[in-house]
Amino acid sequence: MAEESALIEVKNLSINYDDFAALRDVHLTIQKGNITALVGPSGCGKSSFLQSLNRLTDLIPGCQTTGEMILGGKNILSPGCDVLSLRRKVGMVFQKPNPFPQSIRRNFEIPLREHGFSKLETTDRMEDSLKRVGLWNEVSNRLSRSAANLSGGQQQRLCIARALALDPEVILFDEPCSALDPHASGVVEDLISSLRGSVTVVIVTHNLAQARRIADHLAVFWVRGGSGTIVETGATDALFTSATDPDAKSYLTGIRG
Amino acid sequence: MSRLRSDRVLSFVLNAAALLCGALVLGIVLFLSIEAAPTIFSGKISAFFTDEKWQPGSERDPQFGIFSMLLASVLITLLAAILAVPVGICGAIFRVFYAPESLAKWQDRFLELLAGIPSVIFGFWGLSVIVPFINRYHPPGQSLLAAGIVLALMILPTIALTTKSALTAISPSLMAGAAALGLSRPAQILQVAIPTARKGIAAGCALGLGRAIGETMAVVMVCGNIAQIPHSVFDPVRPVTSTIALEMGYATAEHKSYLYAAGLVLVLMTALFLLVRIRKGASQW
Amino acid sequence: MVRSKRNGDLYFGIICGLAALCGIGPLLWIVYDLVKLGAGRISPGFFTDAVRESGRAGGIAPVLHSTFLIVLCCLGAAIPPGLGVAFYLTENGENRFRKWLRASVDLLATIPSIVFGLFGMAFFCRFLGLGFSILSGGLTLACMILPVLIRTTVAAVEALPDHLRSSATALGLTKTTILLRVLLPGATPGIVIGITIGTARALSETAALIFTSGYATRTPDSLLDSGRSISVHIYDLAMNIPNGAQGASASALVLLIALLLINFLTNFFSELWLKNLHSSK
Ligand SMILES: Nc1ncnc2c1ncn2[C@@H]1O[C@H](COP(=O)(O)OP(=O)(O)O)[C@@H](O)[C@H]1O
Ligand SMILES: [Mg+2]
C-alpha cells in the first residue's frame, strides 16, 4: 500500500437531478496514489459521484451538487473553480470506450494541443503514454489510421493513454471493464493496477473480485431512504472480512446485491 | 383458390406500379434525348462548347455556346454555398450546443417554415428587396450576387436541418469524453463533434447544392439574364435553368433541341450531387 | 488563459447565435414585406373575382380554380402508383430490381423541376396530345411528387411494429388482406403526411408548369383547358407585368397561408402517428 495522505476530501456532498435526490450526505477521503473502488448495486449514485469529481455533472441539465470537494486546497464544486484545468487534473475513463472516431494521433493531439503543448511535446507524450498502456507496439505503425478500427480492449487502453497523456493527478474509471471481453478486461485491470503510486485512481466496479484484487480502499454505496449514500468505507481487506454495516456486509460477502 | 387469386392480382398490381416508376425515369431521359437528338446525334453538340456566344435567335449566325451559362450555374451555386454552408453549420451548432430547449424548438419550426417557402416567392422577394438594395450601390442590381444570396437563403434550412440531425446523432458518451479531457466547448465542437458528423454534414450540403444548381424560379427573377462571363459578383448572369425557362416558350427547331440538351446537362449535374450523397451513405432507405 | 477560453466560448456562441438568426430573420422579413405590399389587396372579392388587367386588378378566382384542379390531377395520378411502388418495395425481398428501383426514385427526387417541365411538354403535351392543359400540368407534377410519396409510405410501413405482420400471417391471412386490412390502415397517418408534403410541393411549383399547363387566366372549362396555377400567377405578375408587384404579393400571401395550414396539418398528423406507434409498440 502506498503512503497515506489525503488528496481529495469530500464533505457533505449531495447530488440532485431536478427534484430527485440521487445522492445525500456523502463523506469520503481519497488517498493520494491509492486505488479507491466504489461498489454497490446499480442506481445508488456511484456514477453521479464520479462525474461530480470532475464536474461532468455540469453537462446534465437539472443536475445540482451541494457540499464540498476539496482538491489541492480548492473546492471543486465552487462556481469559481476553473473546470477546464480541473478536468485536466482529474481525467476520466468511461464504461464504453469512447475514442474520437479520428486517427489515433488526433486522439492525442486534440487534448494536448488544447492544453498548450507543442507539437514536439505532443508526439513525445503520445509515445510515452501509449507505451505505458502497452499499446505502442500494436499501433505505432498505424497512428494515422482511425481509432474506430481498434478492438474494444485496444480502444479502452487508448482512452486510458489519452487521459494519462495530460499527466493527471487523478483518473476516474466508471466500470472500465464491463464492456470488454474477459481477456481484454484482464489486460485493462492489470494496467489500472500498475498505475498505483503514480496516479490516484477512483474506480467504479461491479466485479467484487476485481475490487478485491486491485483496490486499496473501498467505499460501499447503498440506497437509504430513497437516496444513495456511502454506508461504509475502509481498507479493502478489512472491509471484506469484517464490515460493520449489515447491507455492506451482505453485499460484500455475496449474500445480497 | 380465390384467395390465392387475389394475392396474384395484388402482386401483379404492385409489379406494374414498380415497372411504371422505373420506366418513368428511363422515359424522362429518353424523351429529353429524343428532343435533343438533332443536336446530339448530328454532332452539333460540340457547338455547345465551341461557340463563343449564345444567340439562338440570330438568323444569320445562330450560336449555341453554353459555356457562359454553365459557368453562371456553377458560380451561383458556389456563391450560395459560400454563404449558406458556414451560416447553416454555425446555426445548427447554436441549435445543438448553445440554445436552451425552448429556443431550439422555435429555431426548428422557423427553419422548417423557411424550407417550405416556394421558390417563386423567394425570387419575387429577391426582386423586390435584394435587387433594389444592390442596385443602390452597384447597379443594375440583378446580378450574380443577388442570385447567390437568394439561393443561399433557399438552401440554408436544408443545410442547417441536416447538420442538426447529424450533430444530435453523435453519441453523448463521445462528447462527455471530450469534456472530460478538459476541452473547451468550442474545441469540443470544432475538433470532435464536427469531424464526427462530417459525413452527414457533407451529405446535407450536397443535397442543398444539388437543389441550388437545378433551381429556376428563385434565380430567373434576380440574376439579370444576360449570357456573359461575369467579371464581378455585381454583373448580371444567366444560368442554364433560366435560359430554359425564358426561351422554351418561343424556341423552335434547332434552338429547342439545344434547350433539351441543356436539360440533359442539368440532369447530369444533379446526378453528380446524388452520387456524392450516395457515397456519403446518406440515401439509404 | 482561463479568461481567454471563457471568452472564446462566449464569442463562438455569439457568432453561432447570429448565424442562427440568419436562418430565422429572413422568414419574418419575407412575410413582413409581403404583408406590407399585398395585404391591402386582399378582400373577399379577391377570392371571387376574375383576373383583370393581367392581375393588376380584380381577383384570383380562376387561378384558384385552376390550381385546385391541377393539384387534384396531380394527387389523383400520383397516389395509386406511389402506394404501389412503396408496397412493392416493402413487400418483396431484396433483389437487384428493388435496388435499382430505389436508386431511380432517388434520381427522380433530384431532377430539377424545370427538367420535369421539359419532359412534360415533350411527353404529355405533345406525345400524348394533351396540349397545354390542366391535365398535362397535373401529370407532370405527379411525376415530380412521386418520390416523396414513395419514401414517406415506405418509412410509414417500415415503422410499423414487426409483430403486426407476423401475427397477421400466423392467423392465416392472405397477403392481400394483410396489406389492405393491416398494413395500409396502420401506415395511413404516415401516408397522409406524404400526401400533405406532396400537395405543398405541387402548390409551390412553378417551373414545371409554365410549359405544361400554361398561362391562361380564364376559368378552365375542362381538364384539357389551359390554366395557370397560383405560383405561375405570382411569377407572371412579378416578372412580366409592370406594376404587378402588389398583385403578386397578395397572391403570394394567399399561397403562404395555404402552405402554413398544410404545414400545421402535417405536424398534426406526425404527432398523431407517433402517438399511435408508441401505443401499438
Ligand atoms: N441524467 C439523469 N437524470 C435524472 N436522473 C438520473 C440521471 N442520471 C442518473 N440519475 C438517477 O440517479 C440515480 C443514480 O444513478 P447513477 O449515478 O447512474 O447510479 P450507479 O452508477 O450507481 O448505477 C439513479 O436513480 C438514476 O436514475
Ligand atoms: Mg453507473
Q: Are residues C121 and C186 in the same domain?
A: yes
Residue B24 and residue B75 in one domain: no
Nearest CA to ligand 1 atom 24: A43
Cβ–Cβ < 8 Å for A170, A162: no
* Mean pLDDT value of segment A76-92: 93
Continuous segment of H or E residues that includes residue B172: helix B172-180
Q: Which residue of A has its CA nearest to B185?
A: A84
Least confident of A37-51, A171-185, C39-53: C39-53
Quote ipTM for the complex: 0.90
Better pLDDT: B215 or B277: B215
Note down the domain range covering C201: 42-280
Q: What is the pLDDT of residue A1?
A: 46
pLDDT tens digits along C155-212: 999 888 888 888 888 887 888 888 888 888 888 888 998 999 999 999 999 999 999 9
Torsion of CA A140, A141, A143, A144, to 10 degrees: 170
Q: Find the angle CA(C40)-CA(C46)-CA(C49) to the nearest 5 degrees.
A: 145
Residue A76 lies in a domain: yes
Structural domain includes residue A257: no
Tell me the CATH number at A126: 3.40.50.300
More confident residue, C1 or B15: B15
- Kindly state the DSSP code that residue A76 receives in the 8-state scheme: T
| Chain B residues touching residue C115 (CB < 8 angstroms) | 28, 32, 214, 263, 266-267
- Report yes or no: A216 and A1 within 8 Å, Cβ to Cβ: yes
pLDDT over 80 (residue B90) = yes
- 3-state SS string for C189-251: HHHHHHHHHHHHHHHHCCCCCCCCCCCCCCCCCCCCCCCCCHHHHHHHHHHHCCCCHHHHHHH
Cβ–Cβ gap C260/B113 under 8 Å: yes
Alpha carbon distance A241, A23 (integer Å)? 27
Query: Which residue is closest in CA terms to ligand 1's atom 11?
Result: A22
Q: Quote the pLDDT of residue B144.
A: 95
Write down the pLDDT at residue A3: 54
Residues B159-171: tens digit of each pLDDT: 999 999 999 999 9
Q: Which of C211, C118, C151 is nearest to B27 (CA)?
A: C118
Partner C contacted by A82 (CB < 8 A) = yes
**Atom of ligand 1 at shortest distance to CA of A20?**
5
Answer yes or no: is A230 within a domain: yes
Residues B235 and B269 in one domain: yes
Quote the cell numbers at residue B223.
Answer: 440574376
Chains touching chain C, criterion 3+ CB pairs below 8 Å = A, B
Q: Check if A163 has its Cβ closer than 6 Å to any atom of ligand 1.
A: no
Q: Are A210 and A178 in contact (CB under 8 A)?
A: no
pLDDT band at B47 (very low <50, low <70, confident <90, very high): confident
**Mean pLDDT, range B227-254, rounded to an integer:** 90
For residue C123, give Cα distances in angstroms to A75, A248, B40, B248, C126. Answer: 77, 82, 19, 15, 6
DSSP B41: T
- Three-state secondary structure readout of A1-56: CCCCCEEEEEEEEEEEECCEEEEEEEEEEEECCCEEEEECCCCCCHHHHHHHHCCH
pLDDT for B285 beyond 70: no
> What is the tally of structural domains in chain B?
2
CATH number of the domain that C192 lies in? Answer: 1.10.3720.10
Whether residues C186 and C262 share a domain: the answer is yes
Ligand located closest to A39 CA? 1
Q: Residues of chain A with pLDDT > 90: what percent? A: 91
Residues in Cβ contact with A185 at an 8 Å cutoff, skipping those fewer than 6 apart: A153, A177, A178
CB B87 within 8 A of CB C20: no
Percent of residues, chain B, with pLDDT higher than 70? 97
Q: Find the residue in C nearest to A82 (Cα).
A: C2
C3 touches chain A (CB under 8 A): no
| pLDDT (0 to 100) of residue C92 | 81
Within this chain, do residues B37 and B76 fall inside the same structural domain, yes or no?
Answer: no
Inside any domain, residue A166:
yes
- Return all residues near A71 (Cβ < 8 A) that are at least 6 apart: A7, A8, A86, A89, A90, A169, A170
Strand C57-58 relative to strand C51-52, pairing: antiparallel
Predicted confidence band of residue B284 (pLDDT cuts 50, 70, 90)? low
What is the H or E stretch that residue B7 is in? helix B2-40
Q: Is residue A86 part of a domain?
A: yes
Question: Does residue A146 belong to any structural domain of this protein?
Answer: yes
Residue pair A130/A140 in contact (Cβ under 8 Å)? The answer is yes
Distance from CA of C123 to the nearest CA of B (A): 7
Averaged over B4-31, what is the pLDDT?
90
Same domain, C152 and C113: yes
Residue nearest to atom 20 of ligand 1 (CA): A43
Protein residue whose Cα sits closest to atom 16 of ligand 1: A45
Best probe of the B interface among C88, C96, C124, C251, by most B CBs < 10 A, is C88
Would you state the pLDDT for residue C2? Answer: 55
What type of residue is A98? N
Quick one: B126 exposed, middle or buried, by C-beta within 10 A (0-12, 13-18, 19+)?
buried
Closest C-alpha to ligand 1, atom 7: A17
Q: Are residues C67 and C97 in the same domain?
A: yes
Q: What are phi and psi of A3, to 5 degrees?
A: -65, 150
pLDDT reported for residue C280: 60
Mean pLDDT of B147-176: 95
Asked, for residue A1, whether it belongs to a domain, the answer is: no
A79: contact with C, CB 8 A cutoff: no
Q: Check residue B1 and give its pLDDT.
A: 46
Contact present, C222 and C213 (Cβ < 8 Å): no
Same domain, B140 and B275: yes
Q: Is residue A163 part of a domain?
A: yes
User: Could you tell me the pLDDT band of residue B239, with boundaries at 50, 70 and 90?
Assistant: very high
Do B186 and B250 reside in the same domain of the chain?
yes
Q: What range defines the domain where residue A51 resides? A: 6-252
Task: Note the pLDDT of residue C168.
Answer: 83
Q: With 90 as the cut, is the pLDDT of residue A219 above it? A: yes
Of B21, B260, B266, the CB nearest to C85: B21
Positions in chain C whose pLDDT score sits under 70? 1-3, 277, 280-281
Ligand 1 pocket residue status of A45, Cβ below 6 Å = yes
Number of domains in chain A: 1
Q: Which residue has the cell 486522439?
A: A107
Q: Rounded distance, CA B223 to CA B132, Å?
A: 13
Give pTM, 2 decimals: 0.89
* Residue in the block written with cell 476516474: A172
Say how far apart CA C144 and CA C111 lie, in whole Å: 8
Has residue B246 been placed in a domain?
Answer: yes
The separation between CA B41 and the C-alpha centre of its own chain, rounded to angstroms, equals 29
Tell me how many domains chain C contains. Answer: 2
The 3-class secondary structure across A84-100, one letter per residue, is HHHHHHEEEECCCCCCC
A 10 A CB-CB count for B187 gives 24
* pLDDT at res. C14: 95
**Residue A17: what pLDDT?**
96
Cis peptide before B140 (omega within 30 of 0): yes
Can you tell me the distance from the alpha carbon of A76 to that of A53, in angstroms, rounded to the nearest whole number?
A: 7
Asked if residue A256 has pLDDT above 70, the reply is no
Is B36 inside any structural domain?
A: yes
A141 Cβ closer than 6 Å to some ligand 1 atom: no
Q: Are residues B34 and B92 in the same domain?
A: no
Contacts of A84 in chain C (CB under 8 A): 2, 5
> Which residues, 6 or more positions from B190, have their beta carbon under 8 angstroms from its beta carbon?
none
Say if CB A193 and CB A177 are below 8 A apart: no
pLDDT-above-90 percentage for chain B: 66
Asked if C16 and C116 sit in the same domain, the reply is no
H or E element, residue B220? helix B217-220
**Rounded alpha-carbon distances, angstroms, from residue A32 to A62, A81, A217, B49:** 32, 21, 11, 76
Rounded to the nearest 5 degrees, what angle is found at the Cα of B254, between the Cα atoms of B251 and B259?
60
Find the CATH number of the domain harbouring B137: 1.10.3720.10
Do B89 and B18 share a structural domain? no
Q: How far apart are the CA of B190 and the centre of ligand 2, in A?
A: 29
**Backbone torsions φ then ψ of B101, nearest 5 degrees:** -50, -45
Is A176 at the interface with chain B, CB within 8 A?
no
- Mean of pLDDT values over B37-66: 76
Distance B216 CA to ligand 1 centre (A): 54
Containing H/E element for A173? strand A170-174
Q: Is A101 helix (H, G, I), strand (E, B) or coil?
A: coil
Predicted confidence band at A2 (pLDDT cuts at 50, 70, 90)? very low
- Ligand 1 pocket mutation, candidates A20, A38, A42, A48, criterion most atoms within 8 A of CB: A48
Average pLDDT, chain B: 90
Which has the closest alpha carbon to C104: A214, B29, A69?
B29
* Range of the structural domain that residue B164 is part of: 63-284
